């Protein structure tokens, strides 16, 4: 299995002959480029076109993050797996109002299912689980447009985030979800994790024939790969939130792993390393797939969602979003 490489230190990526190195001062480490799928760069890293061209030969995606650890952009090599037919059909599903709402609803339905799944494991959050179930049942049959659907999803997610105070350590309490910027540790963790799942989802989309800019729940934009946002909705509660719960309740992450800059709260370098290690472990965890009859990693499930969408677009099989059964 190809893996993700996370670079949290400052340094330089350099190609020498047929080897890619990461250099930190006098220290030089060779990168097993044939077994790397994507590189996530959090430190101040220099690289030139010679290194980029070499990285491109292997189809490796580079993701860049700012000083605070939040996603800023990607370098996508020339796409090899392309299909004009799939892209045209994908666009037609966006242009058709009913087809677009169907897919948007599927993404929200899966997200809500996984939020409720997380809360069912915690008796302290039973009242919030009931509130989400009631909100979902009241609203899901009265959706006539994307705005109403996103409003319903937003109300449910607010209830979901309020429940965190019931089962997370007191040091990580949260009054409300704050994104720009996150002002406390729990908001910083959610934002950091969501950035990671977005970039990982983009990498999986890139490996398929899908166009990452044509989306259904989120409005397509010139400034983002909005299909990645759509698919990420499924995996934020399934991957990001469960990683956060584990790290905080097992006291692996503490307040000492966060720094503050004016009104900005963010993970320091040691905190990032702890989170990235657990996040990668989660992505590599495998589950026995009931239909495929083989083990599939959490990362593999993201790719499978892409394939299911392609089958839906070309008329092979109606899309049914992931609902974790394990």
Full DSSP string of 147-202: HHHHHHHHHHHHHHHHGGGGTS-GGG--SS---SS--SHHHHHHHHHHHHHHHHHH
What 156-159 contacts at long range (C-beta under 8 Å, 24+ apart), as own/partner pairs, is: 156/112, 156/115, 156/132, 157/115, 159/128, 159/131, 159/132, 159/135
Residue 218, marked binder: yes
Question: Is 284 a known ligand-binding residue?
Answer: no
Q: Quick check: helix, strand or coil at residue 53?
A: helix
Specify whether the CB–CB gap between 206 and 79 falls below 8 A: yes
Contact 192, 271 (CB under 8 A): no
Which has the closest alpha carbon to 1: 298, 218, 273, 228? 298
Residue 135, marked binder? no
Radius of gyration of the chain (CA): 20
Neighbours of 217 (CB within 10 A): 23
Determine the Cα–Cα distance for residues 206 and 212; give it in Å rounded to an integer.
Answer: 7
Residues of each annotated binding site for Mn(2+): 153, 218, 233
Binding site: which residues? 153, 218, 233
């Amino acid at each position: 299995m190809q893996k993700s490489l996370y670079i949290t230190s400052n340094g330089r990526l350099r190609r020498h002959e047929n080897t890619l190195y990461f250099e930190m001062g006098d220290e030089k480490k060779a990168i097993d480029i044939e077994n790397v799928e994507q590189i996530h760069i959090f430190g101040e890293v220099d690289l030139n076109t010679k290194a980029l061209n070499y990285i491109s030969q292997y189809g490796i995606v580079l993701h860049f993050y700012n000083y605070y650890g939040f996603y800023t952009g990607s370098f996508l090599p020339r796409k090899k797996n392309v299909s004009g037919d799939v892209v045209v059909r994908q666009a037609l599903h966006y242009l058709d109002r009913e087809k677009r709402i169907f897919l948007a609803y599927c993404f929200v339905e899966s997200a809500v299912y996984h939020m409720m799944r997380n809360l069912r494991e915690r008796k302290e959050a039973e009242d919030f689980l009931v509130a989400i179930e009631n909100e979902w049942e009241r609203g899901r049959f009265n959706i006539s447009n994307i705005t109403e659907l996103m409003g319903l999803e937003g109300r449910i997610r607010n209830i979901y985030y309020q429940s965190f105070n019931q089962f997370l350590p007191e040091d990580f309490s949260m009054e409300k979800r704050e994104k720009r910027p996150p002002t406390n540790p729990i908001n910083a963790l959610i934002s950091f994790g969501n950035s990671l799942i977005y970039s990982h989802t983009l990498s999986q989309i890139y490996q398929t024939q899908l166009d990452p800019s044509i989306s259904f729940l989120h409005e397509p934009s010139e400034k983002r790969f909005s299909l990645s946002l759509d698919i990420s909705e499924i995996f934020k509660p399934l991957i990001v939130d469960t990683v956060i719960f584990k790290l905080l309740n097992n006291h692996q992450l503490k307040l000492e792993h966060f720094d503050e800059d004016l009104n900005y709260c963010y993970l320091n370098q040691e905190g990032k390393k702890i989170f990235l290690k657990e996040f990668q472990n989660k992505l590599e965890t495998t589950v026995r797939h009931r239909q495929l009859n083989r083990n599939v990693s959490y990362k593999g499930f993201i790719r499978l969602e892409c394939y299911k969408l392609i089958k839906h677009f070309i008329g092979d099989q109606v899309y049914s979003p992931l609902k974790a059964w394990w």
